């Protein structure tokens, strides 16, 4: 089967599960986020062990991941910085008590980064769902990211002439990057019209909201993809794993969402 066909089939299999959980929110969404977080942590730990020869304590980091996930679910972001500091101190303490001095700094740094990058940022998906019309906002974000990624991929593959702009992703072209930004603005407007036609209300009430979605998905979302590509370049791998046929690993699939979800939450919570 051709790679594009495998990629499409995988999207049709797993995409609806994500959309359904996002629509219902609450416990179903939180369980899905926890599963994604643990799988992402697992991928990261394997990469660190295989490519950097550094062993991260997997049971500990999984427990810490779930603590972050479910603390935010029940409490929110209140005092999350203190919880994170406590976890970091426990990481360092565990290293000391284990008498493991080799690569101690790297081990602590990788563990701390993984907890920040994966469970903490992913949990903003749930926080978005708690906002007014949050299920629509989250679904809108997911669908717009998928559309933007798809258009950027195809335009870049077919018309991309100026490549190697970003060392993190040599195949990414300026044509595909610009097409992704443009499509984010265009489809933010179109999707808003579709929602109004079906549910009889405007999710994005003015041009400022459409502009925000366009920037968050088109610019910041693609930045998330480049950040993940930069990590993979450091680990010298093409994909974080082969868990999702045609897509790579969990971190490959959720790279844009990991970075864009916090910005969307901040916009609707503090800026709008």
State yes or no: pLDDT of 198 exceeds 70.
yes
State yes or no: pLDDT of 266 exceeds 80.
yes
Distances (CA, A) of 214 to 38, 99, 130, 175, 217: 30, 50, 22, 17, 5
Say how far apart CA 94 and CA 78 lie, in whole Å: 26
Confidence of residue 77 (pLDDT cuts 50, 70, 90): very high
Confidence of residue 9 (pLDDT cuts 50, 70, 90): low
Output the pLDDT for position 1: 52
Say how far apart CA 167 and CA 181 lie, in whole Å: 20
Output the pLDDT for position 246: 67
Apex 75 CA angle, 117 and 203, nearest 5 = 75
Confidence of residue 60 (pLDDT cuts 50, 70, 90): very high
State yes or no: pLDDT of 102 exceeds 90.
no
DSSP of 102-157 = TTHHHHHHHHHHHHIIIIIHHTHHHHHHTSTTHHHHHHHHHHHHHHHHHHHHHHHH
Phi, psi of 243 (to 5 degrees): -60, -40
Average pLDDT score over residue span 46-58:
94
Least confident of 89-93, 133-137, 157-161, 171-175: 157-161
State yes or no: pLDDT of 156 exceeds 90.
no
Q: Which residues, at least 6 apart from 216, have a Cβ–Cβ distance to it below 8 Å?
A: 141, 260, 263, 264, 267
Across the chain, mean pLDDT equals: 91
Average pLDDT score over residue span 251-265:
96
Output the pLDDT for position 11: 67
Output the pLDDT for position 168: 76
pLDDT digits (tens, 9 = 90+) for 239-255: 998 887 767 899 999 99
State yes or no: pLDDT of 212 exceeds 90.
yes
Output the pLDDT for position 7: 62
219: which DSSP letter? I
- Which secondary structure element, helix H or strand E, spans residue 256, and what is its range? helix 255-266
Asked if residue 206 lies in contact with residue 249, where contact means CB atoms within 8 angstroms, the answer is no
Q: What is the share, in percent, of the chain residues with pLDDT greater than 90?
A: 73
Output the pLDDT for position 5: 61
State yes or no: pLDDT of 2 exceeds 70.
no
* pTM for the full predicted model: 0.93
pLDDT digits (tens, 9 = 90+) for 200-210: 998 999 999 99
166: which DSSP letter? B
Confidence of residue 6 (pLDDT cuts 50, 70, 90): low
* Maximal CA-CA distance, the chain: 63
Closest CA to 146 of 14, 265, 243, 238: 14
Closest CA to 168 of 239, 234, 260: 234
169: which DSSP letter? B
């Amino acid at each position: 089967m051709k790679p594009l066909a495998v990629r499409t089939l995988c999207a049709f299999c797993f995409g609806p599960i994500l959309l359904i959980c996002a629509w219902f929110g609450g416990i179903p969404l939180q369980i899905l986020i926890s599963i994604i977080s643990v799988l992402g942590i697992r991928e990261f730990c394997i990469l660190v062990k295989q490519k950097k020869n550094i062993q991260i304590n997997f049971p500990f980091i999984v427990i810490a991941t779930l603590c972050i996930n479910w603390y935010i679910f029940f409490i929110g972001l209140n005092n999350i910085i203190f919880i994170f500091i406590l976890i970091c101190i426990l990481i360092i303490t565990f290293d000391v008590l284990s008498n493991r001095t080799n690569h101690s700094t790297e081990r602590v740094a990788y563990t701390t980064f993984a907890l920040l990058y994966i469970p903490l940022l992913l949990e903003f998906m749930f926080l978005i769902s708690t906002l007014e019309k949050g299920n629509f906002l989250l679904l809108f974000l997911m669908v717009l990211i998928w559309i933007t990624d798809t258009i950027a991929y195809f335009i870049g593959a077919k018309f991309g002439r100026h490549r190697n702009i970003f060392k993190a992703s040599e195949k990414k072209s300026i044509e595909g990057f610009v097409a992704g930004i443009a499509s984010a603005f265009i489809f933010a407007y179109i999707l808003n019209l579709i929602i109004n036609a079906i549910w009889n209300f405007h999710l994005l009430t003015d041009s400022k909201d459409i502009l925000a979605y366009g920037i968050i998905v088109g610019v910041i979302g693609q930045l998330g993809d480049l950040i993940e590509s930069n990590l993979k370049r450091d680990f010298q791998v093409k994909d974080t794993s082969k868990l999702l046929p045609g897509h790579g690993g969990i971190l490959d699939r959720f790279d844009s969402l990991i970075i864009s979800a916090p910005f969307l939450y901040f916009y609707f919570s503090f800026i709008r």
